[in-house]
Structure formats: structure tokens, C-alpha cells
Amino acid sequence: MMLGAASTISLVKSNGENLGHFSSPAVSPVARSSKAVTGGRNRLVAAEVSKSTNHRPTSGVVFEPFEEVKELMLVPTGPQESLARHKFMDETEAAINEQINVEYNVSYVYHSLYAYFDRDNVALKGLAKFFKDSSQEEREHAERFMGYQNMRGGKVKLQSIVMPLTEFDHPEKGDALHAMELALSLEKLVNEKLLHLYSVAERTNDVQLTDFIDGFLKEQVEAIKKIAEYVAQLRRVGKGHGTWHFDQALLA
């Protein structure tokens, strides 16, 4: 290996006085290159350390999913237990089954009203269509609650349905007004039952259920407003010819 000669440096004052000579050891090109490479590596390592430091959690809390899953025992082993059930209380499950029964009972009454107004000696086709659609809607609500019950890992338990009335004529109000006032009362009753179910969900801290019920509550207040207007209109037109015009408007 060849080493370069030592370099001599002279220091001279501005007035020309010579301060002497001294020598500095020569640095070979290989040494300079090695130093440069070493310096670059040091900078690279420092950058990597800085980068890894920036990604450390500032809170000091480390999530250890495997250990936490072992502690929580989230997957049941019993053959009759739901695998999907999580944070779903027995009280909530029972309240949903009650709401399913409410929806089916109201649907049954509306179906009876449809059959009444579809008779050949009543023949109010608009009211028959209105109550048939209403019956279908309430049945769909019951099925939506059944689907939600299964989704949360509960068990659907259908209960008995009360036999509805078959005659709806009224000597003073007439059948149309009497039936619509009954429908308004039923819609308000369903709203009360939904609010009760909502209170159960809040009491059990079930935010998923409260979010699910919100859509039903919006539909319910809209239905109450619509049927309330029908009651007001039927009270104005009275029985007879006015009821027939109201019925035709429902077909439009």
C-alpha cells in the first residue's frame, strides 16, 4: 500500500513574520473513502433509529390481541349457544320478542280491516287497499325484528296473536271514520312499544339496538301524522257520499 507524504504547512503573519512550520500526517485516499463510507453508514443507522422511534406508541399501551382473547373467552363452546352473541342481554332479547308480537297483532287487525272493506256490500276499495298495504308493512316490521334478533344471537319466540274484530260499522261515525280512528290508536300504541324497547336498549347500554330502532321511530311518527290527517278529513266529510269521495282519493 502506498501512503502519501506528510504535508508541511507554514504559518505567516500578515506583516510577513514566519511563525514556523509543522507537519500534518497524510491521509490516504483509501482512509478518506473508508471514513466517508463509515460516516454515511452512521447517518443511515441514525435515520433508521429515528424512524422507528417515531412509530412507537406515545401512550405506552401495547395491544396484545392473543392474550386478551384468551382472557375474554369470546367464543362459546356449548352446542346450543350462539356464536354471534356479544353484549346482548336477556332482557333485550325478551323485549324484541314482545315487539315482534306487537307488530304481528297490529298486522292481523289491519288484515281484518282489509277483508271488511273488500266485501261486496261495503265495496270501499281505497280503504281496502290502504289497510292491506298497512298489514303488509307491519308484517315486514315483524320480520325485520326477527332478522335483527337472529343477527345478534338471540332466539325468536313467536307468541299468540289475538283474534281481531270482524265488524267495524259504527252507528254515529260510520265504518270508515271508526276504522281510521282505530288505526290511529294502533299506530300510537306501536310507537309507545317502540319507545319502551328503546328505553330497554339504553338501560342495557346496547347502542346497536338504539341505532336500529331509530329508523322505526321515524317511520312511526310519519304514519301517525298521515293517519291523523285522514281522521280529520273523514270527520269533515261525514258518512255517505263524502266517504265515497275519500275512498276514491286513496286509489289515486
Residues in the annotated binding site for Fe cation: 103, 138, 141, 187, 220
Q: What is the 3-state secondary structure (H, E, C) of 114-166?
A: HHHHCCCCCCCHHHHHHHHHHHHHHHHHHHHHHHHHHHCCCCCCCCCCCCCCC
State the DSSP code for 79: T
Cβ contacts of 24 within 8 Å, gap of 6 or more: 6, 7, 9
DSSP state of 9: E
Which element (helix H / strand E) includes 29? Answer: helix 29-54
- Please name the helix (run of DSSP H) or strand (run of DSSP E) that holds residue 8, with its range, or none: strand 7-12
The annotation places the binding site at: 103, 138, 141, 187, 220
Q: Which of 242, 109, 126, 104 is nearest to 165 (CA)?
A: 109
Beta carbons within 10 angstroms of residue 183's beta carbon: 23
Q: Which three cell numbers stand for residue 158?
A: 313467536
Element (H, E) at 179: helix 175-203
